[in-house]
Amino acid sequence: MCRSGYAAPQAEISWLIEDKDGNRVRTIDIDADIYEDLIIDNDNSRGKHGAKEVNLPLNLHLSSKYHLHRFKCIVTYKLAGENHEEITKSYERQFPAHDVIKVIHPVSSVYLVKDGKELGDVVDISDSTELDIQCQSNGFDPEQEVKIKMVPSLQDLRKEVVKCSSSRMHVCKVVVTCSARNLLNDKEVIQSFPLSFTRFPDFECKTIPNDLLRLTDPVQVSCIPGKEYFL
């Protein structure tokens, strides 16, 4: 329940849904159909001047799409300033107070991550850092950690990178298969990901001279891959 307290004029109140990274997923105000139990209470007692209190419950089915999300009640009041100008002040209360919602659900998808970010189908192996690719999934069960497998293993993938680099091939193809399940799954969720290991070159760039250019005109630059890319 989100409660504004009595205010005149009536406070503006809404729920904000955020993901674990603080990104706004959804904002719901009092006009949404989800607020069937919205209560607005009038207080006409002496000194209250028709102040209104808004009690705003949030009725949601906690499906897996709200896993690792948080809910914020935001209340905004209109007040009179020292010179009778209108000013606004907002307050918020988060649920859970210091964490995110965790919803029990089976594994339904798997994906690859590199350096903590979801991986596309092209992997840059031109830098000297050791390759770190992992399979991850979306399921959650407090009784058991998700069992995740990756084929080939990370060790074998690193061997492929060494082989690709030593062969001086610009692109090397490999297929990685991820599988995962928890106690809520009848069987493993399996998906394969074709990857292209490639070496992005260092470019050599130079400005093309043009005596007709003014100081404020853009210059033309030509860039080509460095010589080591063709070795």
Under DSSP, is residue 172 helix (H, G, I), strand (E, B) or coil? Answer: strand
Instruction: Please tell me whether residues 123 and 40 are part of one structural domain.
Output: no
Q: Residue 215: what pLDDT?
A: 72
Which structural domain range is residue 189 located in?
110-198
Instruction: Please tell me whether residues 126 and 169 are part of one structural domain.
Output: yes
Please name the residues in contact with 35: beta carbons below 8 A apart, sequence gap of 6 or more: 28, 56, 57, 59
How far is residue 17's CA from residue 96's CA, in Å, rounded to a whole number? 12
Tell me the sheet residues that pair with 94. Answer: 72
Q: Residue 230: what pLDDT?
A: 47
Answer left, alpha or beta for residue 157, where phi above 0 means left and psi between -120 and 50 means alpha: alpha
Instruction: Please tell me whether residues 73 and 115 are part of one structural domain.
Output: no
Under DSSP, is residue 89 helix (H, G, I), strand (E, B) or coil? Answer: strand
Output the domain CATH number for residue 33.
2.60.40.10
Q: Residue 126: what pLDDT?
A: 76
How far is Cα of residue 10 from the mean position of the Cα atoms in its chain?
34
Comparing CA positions, the residue from 199, 197, 179, 177 lying closest to residue 187 is: 179
Instruction: Please tell me whether residues 77 and 13 are part of one structural domain.
Output: yes
Within a domain: 212: no
Instruction: Please tell me whether residues 130 and 192 are part of one structural domain.
Output: yes
On the CB side of 151, CA atoms within 13 Å amount to: 6
Q: How far is CA 217 from CA 54, 205, 220, in A?
A: 60, 19, 10
Q: Residue 201: what pLDDT?
A: 65
How far is residue 190's CA from residue 188's CA, in Å, rounded to a whole number? 6
How far is residue 77's CA from residue 176's CA, in Å, rounded to a whole number? 54
Instruction: Please tell me whether residues 91 and 115 are part of one structural domain.
Output: no
Q: Residue 84: what pLDDT?
A: 78
Instruction: Please tell me whether residues 89 and 29 are part of one structural domain.
Output: yes
Tell me the sheet residues that pair with 197. Answer: 123, 172
- The rounded average pLDDT for each run of 10 residues, N- to C-terminus, in the chain (231 residues) is 76 86 82 54 56 75 87 86 82 89 92 89 78 91 89 91 77 93 93 88 76 77 65 50
Domains in the chain, number = 2
CB 132 within 8 A of CB 123: no
Instruction: Please tell me whether residues 41 and 124 are part of one structural domain.
Output: no
Within a domain: 227: no
Within a domain: 46: yes
Within a domain: 66: yes
Output the domain CATH number for residue 153.
2.60.40
How far is Cα of residue 200 from the mean position of the Cα atoms in its chain?
27
Q: Residue 149: what pLDDT?
A: 95
DSSP 156: H
